[in-house]
Amino acid sequence: MTQDDRVRYAAIIKVFLHFGWNWVGILIATDGSGDAELQELSRTMSKRGICMEYVIKFTDNDDSNRRKLAVIGKSTAKVVLVNLHNYVRKVRFTDPTGQEIFFNERAEVPSRIDLVNWMIAEGYEHKWTLLTSFNAMEDVDKALNFKSDDVFWKGGTKPESRCSDRCPPGHRKAPTEQIHVCCYDCVPCSEGEMSNVTDSDSCFRCPDDEWPDEKKVQCIPKTYDYLSYKNDVLVLIFSSTSLAFAAVTLFVFGNFIYYWDSPVVKANNRTVSIILLASILLSFLCVFLFLGRPVDITCMMRQMSFGVFFSITVSCVLAKTVTVCIAFKATKPGSYWRKWVGEKISNSVVIICSSVQVLICVIWLSVSPPYQEYDMHSSPGKIIIRCNEGSVIGFYSVLGYMGLLAAVSFVLAFMVRTLPDSFNEAKYITFSMLVFCSVWIAMIPAYLSTRGKYLVAVEIFAILASSAGLLGCIFSPKCYIMLFKPELNTKINIYRK
């Protein structure tokens, strides 16, 4: 290939790329030079992503040429490159009406272009935009070296000749079943990816702390996801509910202090009842450790406080249940259980059972404590600020031990629910533990299937619901008697029953 050939082909490619044409038709003569030029041009165009929809080889036979021109009528290419030597010598553009469009006002209009006239008689003028010889493309290249204003189009619209429409930003090219690389589909970028250029071959993944915007044309910072005090209605609901239940608990606490020496307060160990109320109050208030942006200290305190407070609560319920069991076993003459009657056994149950949970939490904190973590990938477009539990074994040990205490309390309470207790506390304990166990069992699938702040919301709901169940089932009957049925709150009534 000569130097002149290289210049010619470079000029052709430059013109096509300049106007964004990658889908063209080729008309050549059937002499040897036409074939050689076509072969070399085809290789050069392929390297630059320009495809030939068709190649028509003209002869001196007019009838044969007319049949070949039918290909143009069925084609989609709007640009035709012609190399017919003496037929066409200059650059010429036309609009669909056949009007001439020139590269600049000084362009020379050929007096006779036989092929142009031939195609307009045949009705193909709407299918072609450019007619030129290979050699004349050098003149076009020189014209393009000036300002773009040197090239203008009649009607102000530049013709498009592409196999596929351009892929807009936010999309990428996708191969089709056609053999031409210029023919492709446009598909939106996948989740987490973007493209900010037209006709992008691929989309690009945003950095971990960024996410594509709605149009997927740029990366924007991810939003932080947690139960925020500023703009989250869940926080308002949970905090209001927690404070309301805490106020109710304090009200019950005040009644127990006021009626400290009454039979209904003395009936089932006043000390354990006060400890139980205090632990329920702290369980309501520990909800605030789950709200707001997590940090290392709140991550450690939230699970430890929740585990310890609830263990104390369930231990108190267990102590009350044991007290009822022992009291009725000791009523038989000569019973071995008489020596266990009193507050010592119930206080010991509370201390021992709670101490085991405290020990588990201390070991958990010593080995692998919870800490703040940024989860970049679980929720699209968000950075979840959450607490990593550190030791999974420690976390499930706390929950497992609390579940064990609740199960034992429920079984014992269910066994003694029919005993003739003066204030039916065994029956109320059964109901309270049924509510407690139901809430936490129902929480397990919800906890495992949620992410982000909603996972924390599920845990908060379980804390509030189970604490409210204990408070209502165990203490509401007592408060009802103290406030509305004082005649039942007497020793005579107890002895009568």
Output the CATH code of domain 233-496.
1.20.1070.10
DSSP-derived 3-state class of residue 185: strand
The per-residue pLDDT for range 140-174, each reduced to its tens digit, is: 555 555 544 445 554 556 677 888 888 999 999 98
Most confident of 92-96, 241-245, 409-413: 241-245
Enumerate the β-bridge partners of residue 52: 24
What's the CATH fold of domain 3-156?
Rossmann fold (3.40.50)
Q: Give the number of residues written for the chain.
A: 497
Tokens of 445: 């699938």
Q: Listing from the earlier edge strand, what are the strands of the sheet with 100-101?
A: 100-101, 92-94, 130-131
Q: What is the pLDDT of residue 106?
A: 35
Q: What is the pLDDT of residue 112?
A: 32
In the predicted structure, residue 200 carries a pLDDT above the cut 80? yes
Is the torsion defined by CA of 207, 210, 212, 218 positive or negative? negative
Q: What is the pLDDT of residue 239?
A: 94
182 φ/ψ angles, rounded to the nearest 5 degrees? -75, -10
- Threshold 0.75, pTM exceeds: no
* C-alpha pair distances (Å), 60 with each of 28, 54, 64, 65, 341: 12, 20, 8, 8, 124
How much is the average pLDDT of 187-209? 90
**Bridging pattern class, strands 371-375 and 382-388:** antiparallel
- Least confident range of 33-42, 166-175, 255-264, 374-383: 33-42
Q: What whole-number distance in Å separates Cα of residue 48 and Cα of residue 182?
A: 10
How would DSSP label each residue in 204-215?
Answer: EEPPTTEEE-TT
DSSP-derived 3-state class of residue 444: helix
272 φ/ψ angles, rounded to the nearest 5 degrees? -65, -40
- Least confident range of 197-211, 353-367, 446-460: 446-460
How much is the average pLDDT of 208-219? 91
Q: Looking at 75-136, which runs of residues are DSSP E strands?
A: 79-83, 92-94, 100-101, 130-131
37-48: buried (b, 16+ CB within 10 Å) or exposed (e) per residue? bbeebeebbeee
179-204: buried (b, 16+ CB within 10 Å) or exposed (e) per residue? eeebbbebeebeebbbbeeebbeebe
101 φ/ψ angles, rounded to the nearest 5 degrees? -125, 130
Q: What is the pLDDT of residue 326?
A: 74
The per-residue pLDDT for range 440-496, each reduced to its tens digit, is: 888 888 877 888 788 889 989 999 999 999 999 888 888 888 888 887 777 666 555
Q: What is the pLDDT of residue 335?
A: 61
Question: What are the residue ranges spanned by the domains of the chain?
Answer: 3-156, 171-221, 233-496
